[in-house]
A = this chain, B = another copy of it.
């Protein structure tokens, strides 16, 4: 079971806005990269201390600060101070138990999203949290751990001709969200493959492992669904363009990614219904097997119990049993038994048990 509230308890009673990292313990060092660009120039560097990124704030170029690792309070605090972020937003960045949400603080928009990935070790679906701060000319993205996720965007940024270089920070935010939504499609392909495997198993040889696999799948889909619905809401509020930080020309792109998020939701719904159907098939295959077992038992019993009764009759020790002394008695008895056996077989066949 995915732990739903790990280490939450330690926060009870703390004042709101207290910065405590809630999530998996990490030892990795935090990695901060900056990409500063406009349609002409681009500058890209990895920095050691967070202070190095502050000068970029007031430049007219678009600055993208990406922070891999959210487990060091001081770094988050410094960023918060410098970019004047609300303490509650900082708290939410560090608490990986948030649900996707979008909050407009006027000067900046704060977005929390979930990115699903498939844990290679046990083929389980997990989610990680990504927080985005969209300011007038900067975007700050926070990831729990370094991932190759945003590399294609970096590639595109390096290309002078790409559209992303011509647009502002809002378009950059859009591309980040687009990549995240695309990730959901990848996860769904994985789910679909697992469903296909289980379906094959269901037809050839359903065991109780199949049942557990179905239930595991169902639970993961419930789990995934919980993060997709609010994702859709987040993108919807971005798309409606109520904030001046998102230009009108960018809205149509958000509408596009909104469509994608709806498709993700529809796909999950369809997969859920498929899994439910699989459960029905499993259960009816189990009951079908019980029927088969019962049929065999009944056939055996129907044929041999009457026969055994006949042998019982001629196994009795009465002194005066004329048949016993007939010369043809034994063959006749065998003959009768064969007849009874065959007629029972015919009966079973007519009942469609054979």
Cα of A181 to Cα of B262 in the assembled complex, Å: 23
A319 touches B329 (CB 8 A): yes
B294 touches A300 (CB 8 A): no
Q: Within residues 243 to 289 of chain A, which ones have a CB less than 8 A from any CB in chain B?
A: 252-253, 255-257, 259, 262-263, 266-267, 269-270, 273-274, 277, 279-289
Closest B residue, CB atoms, query A6 = B189
**Chain B residues with CB under 8 A of A267:** 4-5
B320 engages A327 (CB within 8 Å): yes
Does A188 touch B at the CB level, under 8 Å? Answer: yes
Q: Which residues of B contact A212 (CB under 8 A)?
A: 281
A86→B252 contact, CB < 8 A: yes
A contact patch SS: helix
Q: How far is the CB of A217 from chain B (nearest CB, A)?
A: 11
A156:B308 contact, CB within 8 angstroms: no
How many A residues have CB within 8 A of the partner chain?
Answer: 121
CB pair A15 B263 closer than 8 Å: no
| Interfacial chain B residues near A222, Cβ < 8 Å | 270, 273-274
1/0 contact string of A290-302 vs chain B (CB within 8 Å): 1111111110111
Q: For the complex, what is the distance from the CA of A296 to the CA of B323, rounded to whole Å?
A: 31
Per-residue CB contact flags for chain A residues 312-354 toward chain B (1 = under 8 Å, else 0) read 1111111111011111111001100100000000000001110
CB-based contact A189/B8 at 8 Å: yes
State in angstroms the CA–CA spacing of A320 and B328 once bound together: 8
Check if A305 is an interface residue, CB within 8 A of chain B.
yes
Report A155-189 CB contacts with B as 1/0, cut-off 8 Å. Answer: 11000001110000000001100110011011011
Given A4-B188, A152-B13, A185-B12, verify A297-B290 contact (CB < 8 Å): no
Tell me the bound Cα distance from A274 to B220 in angstroms.
Answer: 11
Contact with B along A131-168 (1 / 0, CB 8 A): 00000000000000000000111011000001110000
Q: Can you spell out 30 A-B residue pairs with CB atoms less than 8 angstroms apart?
A: A3-B192, A4-B270, A5-B189, A5-B192, A8-B185, A8-B189, A13-B152, A13-B153, A13-B182, A16-B174, A99-B263, A219-B277, A222-B270, A222-B274, A283-B287, A287-B287, A292-B351, A296-B351, A297-B301, A298-B300, A301-B301, A305-B305, A307-B312, A311-B315, A313-B334, A313-B337, A315-B315, A315-B317, A316-B317, A318-B326
Instruction: Give 17 new A-B contacts, CB below 8 A, not counting A15-B175, A297-B302, A308-B309.
Output: A3-B192, A16-B256, A97-B263, A205-B352, A211-B281, A211-B284, A219-B277, A226-B266, A226-B269, A291-B293, A294-B294, A296-B351, A297-B301, A309-B311, A311-B312, A318-B329, A320-B327
